[in-house]
Structures are given as C-alpha cells and as structure tokens.
Amino acid sequence: MSDISENIRRLRRKKGLSQLQLAEQLHVTRQAVSGWETDKFYPDLETLITLSAVLDTDPNGLLYPASRKKRGPRPVSGKIVLAVLVVFSLFMTFGGGIWTLLLRPIVGGGTRESFLYPLYGGVILLAVLISVCTCLITEEIRSAACFRDQDSEDSPS
C-alpha cells in the first residue's frame, strides 16, 4: 500500500467520514475513493487539491508518509547545571577527604604528605565520575542511534 492511499484512509477515518460521504463532498463515486485507498489508482491533481482541503491537510500531507515524532535533544536548565557543579565540588572536597581516610592505611606516607590525601581521594573520585558519565553518554548515543536506524528501516525506499 502506498503512502497516498494510507494517508487518505487515515485522514478520512480521523475526520469520521465514510467513503460515501467523502465521495459526495468531492463529487466522485464511492468506488473512486475505494480505488484510491486500495492503490488501484490515484486521484488527479485537481482532485488531490480538493481532497486535501476536505481532509484539512496540505497536498504534501497526502503524498508523503506521515511523520513520526522524533526524539530531539532535551533542553538543559542552567539551574540544574549549576546545582550539579556545586554538588560535584562539595563531593570532591568532602568525599575526597573521607575517601583518603579509608585509603591512608593502604597508601601510607608520612606527615609531610598528609595534605595530599584529600587530593588523591578527589582524583580517584573524579576518575570514577568520568568513567560513569562516559558510560551513560555512550549508552544515550547508542539508544539514539538505535531509534535512528529503526526509523530508517520503517520508511520505504
């Protein structure tokens, strides 16, 4: 079934019209409408323009496939970005200090290097955070590519 026949049928049903009612509005026979919807033949240009007006669409809405809603980029709020930066800074500062208390017996070191322990802990937490974010971003890209591939497979060539 072609795009035009699917679109005529879909839009006619959406308007709640029978084939006979649509045919009467277009001054054609019911068999003509049935032929359009079953791909036996197509409306001429004049009828196509009238048909699009009756079905409240433009001629392109009849000729081309119905567009699917596509996932676009999600807007990011500036407040969220600021909140994430503040939380990240606090997490790096205090989390790094707490993490180093756990690492100190393993890493060792004298009193001279003790001021570096929070920094080491923060670097380790930063590496973990970067790894997790990379995984999440990669997964998001893969799922978006999956939707793109699925849309291209559904559309006729």
Quick one: angle between helices 96-107 and 117-154, nearest 10? Answer: 120
Question: Could you give the number of structural domains in the chain?
Answer: 2
CA neighbor of 12 nearest in space, from 65, 74, 54: 54
**pLDDT value at residue 157:** 44
117 & 146 share domain:
yes
> Containing domain of residue 58, as a range?
3-63
The SS3 call for residue 112 is helix
**pLDDT value at residue 112:** 60
45 & 93 share domain:
no
| Phi-psi group of 30: left, alpha or beta (phi > 0 → left; psi -120 to 50 → alpha; rest → beta) | alpha
Instruction: Give me the tens of pLDDT residue by residue for the chain, a chain 157 residues long.
Output: 578 888 889 889 998 999 999 999 999 999 999 999 898 888 888 888 899 889 888 888 888 876 655 555 566 566 776 677 677 777 766 766 676 677 666 766 555 666 666 776 777 777 777 777 777 777 777 776 555 555 444 445 4
Q: Look up the CATH number of the domain holding residue 21.
A: 1.10.260.40
CA distance 81 to 67: 33
45 & 102 share domain:
no
The whole-angstrom distance between residue 105's C-alpha and the CA centroid of its chain comes to 49
